[in-house]
Structures are given as C-alpha cells and as structure tokens.
C-alpha cells in the first residue's frame, strides 16, 4: 500500500511541476498572439488563468488521488486477504494441524491455484501422517510376536525349561528370519513408494518373465500340494520392464496366492494383450477370496485379509502386495485385485505398457 501511494504521489508531483512550468508560458504566448496590448487586460487574463488553473488542478488532484487511493486500498485488501489466510494456514500446518482449508476465491487465477495447491498439500500431509502413525502401530504389532517368541525361548533356555536341541534353535532361527524379512521388506517398501528403485527398463518377453517366475515358485507349490499352471501367449509379447523387479512382482503375487490357497487348489498365471498397447499378467487362485470391504485396502502396508493367519502360516510381512503395486506403477503400469467374495478365489492383474520400439 505504501509503495502504491508513493507511485501515485510521484505521478501527482510530476504533473504539478510540468503544468506550472508549461501552462503559464503557453498561455502568455497565445495571449500575445491575439494582439492585445493592454497590460491591464493581459495581467487580468493571466491572473484569471492562474487561479482557474490552480483550482481545476487541485480539484483534479484531490479526485484522482482519492480514486487511486481507494482502488489501491481495494486491490491491496484483495491480494492481502488470501495471502494472510495462506500464512495462517501454513502456521497451522507447521503446528501439526492438517485440517485447515484455505479460501480459493483470491485476486487472480494465480492465488486461486496457490490456494488449491496448498489445500492439496495439507491433505497429502494429513494422509502421510496418518499412514506413518498407522505404520508405526502395525510395525510394533508385527515385531511383538517374533520378539516375544525369542524372549520366551531365551528365558526357557536360561531356566532349563526349554531343551537345547536343534528344534529350539530352528524356532529361534525362524523368528530371526522373520525379523530380517520384515526389515528388508520395509526398506523395499520405502524405496518403492519413493520411486527410488532405479529401475533399468529393457525390452523383455512377458512369456519369459512368467515362465521364470512360475519355475521359481513351483517347488513351494508342490510342497503344499497346490497346482500352479502358466498360460503364456502364443507369440512373444515384448514389454519394457526391469527383469529383476518384474520377477519380484510375480514372486510376491505367487507367494500371496499360495498362502491363501488350500492344498488341492489351483493358481493360474495368464498373459493377455489389450488393444495392442498394453499387456496384462493375471494371477488367479481358487483360494479364500477377498471380502468386498477389503478390496480397496488390500495393497496397504501390513494389510491382510485374515490377520490371524500371519503367525500360523509364517506368512509374509504384510508388505508384499504394497511393494508389488509400487513396482508395477514404476513400470508405468498398474496392479489391481478382484474377487467375487470369500471362498471364491481372487485375481490380481498387472497391466504394463507394451514395448513399441523396434
């Protein structure tokens, strides 16, 4: 506001100086050209001009300064109000309050965009904070079981209640392995969600990706008595993928299907092309299925359709699907889940772009 008033005052001062220097001289020159020789008439005319010019200039200056001041005040208020609201909202967010909302009606589209972006940022921060809180709680829960088991066995060994034999050591090794797997999966999850996996995308045959993944998982399936079948495409299907990470996605999906498919069940891996622009790799099982209210949450960290099975089946850290989806999205693709409900199996579909380069 002060800067605007300084500009107005400078303009007014320049106008007055220019008028005083130019207007009287021009008037005298034109008066002389009229041929009027009476000094009294010339003096009266010049006085009349000076007084009328001064009054007109003063009135015009007051009117223009008033109008300019009001317009400046209005503009400053219009600009300052959303900026003040943004500053207050930023202070609230800095204090941990993410529920703030900023009015989007600002002076100009730029402030409106800024307000909208700030609201979006506050929403994302709130979601991140909620995820962090939930993850810490889930992590504490995941750590509790193996740590409690290890503590119980150590106490039992010290009190000679638990035998010092291979079985006891095997149980403790399993719990240590579970802790190690959890740490590795947490690191992988963070890297995947932050897009820091440094994928090396090269042309790959989707048939080869599926064949290798199925071959690697086959022993585990045979051990449990679950049938695993691959249905590759009739011709090579080229996709741009990181070979190692692609195997990781399918390994996580196949491990998940194996955990939730009882002995005698069937898991199928199929390749489909979609309109020549993308490729779908489907992992379908005849297992437990997914409840309808869990479909939207199945890819969240530590999410399990049946949490009670986590300890009984040695089942993963609850991060496998989270990692798989993050890797799928880093391939410019997607990973979705479908199920007709509990007891009707489930289907996970990994969609990734087809390789179009020659």
Per-residue tokens: 316 = 């993963």
pLDDT score for 284: 95
End-to-end Cα separation, the chain, in angstroms? 62
Assess if residue 136 is contained within a domain. yes
pLDDT score for 263: 94
Same domain flag for 206 and 259: yes
Same domain flag for 348 and 216: yes
Per-residue tokens: 69 = 């001041």
**Distance from C-alpha of 163 to C-alpha of 51, rounded to nearest angstrom:** 117
Split into its structural domains, the chain has a count of 3
Of the candidates 137, 163, 193, which is a domain's last residue?
A: 193
Same domain flag for 302 and 248: yes
Q: Is 354 helix (H, G, I), strand (E, B) or coil?
A: strand
Residue 134 is part of a domain; what is its CATH number? 1.10.287.130
Decide the pairing of beta strands 334-338 and 266-274. unpaired
Of the candidates 94, 119, 153, which is a domain's last residue?
A: 94
Same domain flag for 132 and 267: no
- Residue pair 36/42 in contact (Cβ under 8 Å)? The answer is yes
pLDDT score for 9: 80
Mean pLDDT by 10 residues, the chain (358 residues): 77 79 78 75 78 80 81 78 82 83 70 82 82 73 83 89 87 87 77 74 91 93 94 87 90 92 94 81 92 84 56 58 88 91 90 80
pLDDT score for 90: 86
Assess if residue 100 is contained within a domain. no
Per-residue tokens: 333 = 């693709």
Same domain flag for 73 and 215: no
Quickly tell me which residue has 């309109």 as its tokens.
275
pLDDT score for 312: 44
Of the candidates 94, 118, 139, which is a domain's last residue?
A: 94
Per-residue tokens: 239 = 């996709």
DSSP 8-state assignment for residue 350: E
Assess if residue 329 is contained within a domain. yes
Same domain flag for 261 and 291: yes
Same domain flag for 65 and 167: no
* pTM, full prediction: 0.58
Same domain flag for 212 and 348: yes
Assess if residue 103 is contained within a domain. no
Same domain flag for 212 and 336: yes
Per-residue tokens: 55 = 């009054």
Assess if residue 334 is contained within a domain. yes
Range of the domain at 39: 2-94
* Strand order across the 278-285 sheet: 227-231, 266-274, 278-285, 346-353, 334-338
Assess if residue 23 is contained within a domain. yes
pLDDT score for 251: 92
Q: Phi and psi dihedrals of 47, rounded to 5?
A: -65, -40
Same domain flag for 125 and 264: no
**Distance from C-alpha of 54 to C-alpha of 50, rounded to nearest angstrom:** 6
pLDDT score for 268: 95
Same domain flag for 178 and 212: no
Assess if residue 99 is contained within a domain. no
Same domain flag for 349 and 206: yes
Any idea of the CA torsion for 103, 108, 111, 113, to the nearest 10 degrees? Answer: 90
Assess if residue 45 is contained within a domain. yes
pLDDT score for 57: 77
CB count in 10 Å sphere of residue 287: 23
């Amino acid at each position: 506001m002060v800067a605007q008033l300084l500009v107005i005052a400078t303009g007014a001062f320049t106008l007055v100086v220019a008028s005083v220097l130019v207007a009287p001289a021009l008037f005298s020159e034109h008066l002389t050209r009229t041929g009027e020789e009476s000094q009294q008439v010339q003096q009266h005319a010049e006085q009349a001009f000076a007084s009328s010019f001064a009054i007109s200039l003063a009135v015009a200056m007051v009117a223009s300064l008033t109008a300019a001041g009001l317009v400046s005040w209005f503009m400053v208020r219009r600009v300052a109000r959303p900026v003040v609201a943004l500053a207050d909202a930023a202070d609230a967010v800095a204090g941990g309050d993410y529920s703030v909302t900023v009015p989007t009606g600002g002076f100009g589209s730029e402030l409106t965009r800024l307000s909208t972006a700030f609201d979006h940022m506050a929403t994302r921060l709130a979601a991140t904070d909620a995820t962090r809180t939930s993850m810490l709680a889930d992590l504490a829960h995941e750590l509790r079981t193996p740590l409690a088991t290890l503590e119980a066995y150590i106490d039992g060994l010290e009190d000679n209640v638990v035998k010092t034999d291979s079985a006891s050591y095997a149980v403790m090794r399993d719990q240590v392995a579970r802790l190690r797997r959890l740490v590795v999966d947490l690191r992988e999850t963070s890297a995947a969600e932050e897009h820091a996996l440094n994928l090396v995308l090269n042309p790959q045959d989707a048939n080869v990706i599926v064949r290798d993944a199925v071959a690697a998982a086959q022993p585990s399936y045979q051990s449990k008595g679950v049938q695993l079948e691959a249905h590759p495409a009739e011709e090579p299907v080229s996709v741009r993928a990181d070979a190692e990470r692609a195997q990781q996605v399918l390994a996580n999906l196949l491990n998940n299907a194996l955990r939730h498919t009882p002995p005698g069940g069937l898991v199928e891996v199929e390749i489909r092309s979609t309109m020549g622009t993308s490729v779908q790799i489907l992992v379908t099982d005849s297992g437990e299925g997914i409840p309808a209210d869990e479909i939207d949450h199945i890819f969240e960290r530590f999410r399990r359709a049946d949490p009670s099975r986590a300890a009984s089946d040695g089942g993963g850290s609850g991060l496998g699907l989270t990692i798989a989806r993050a890797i799928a999205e880093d391939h410019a693709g997607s990973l979705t889940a479908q199920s007709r409900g509990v007891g009707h199996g489930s289907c996970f579909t990994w969609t990734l772009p087809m390789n179009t380069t020659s």
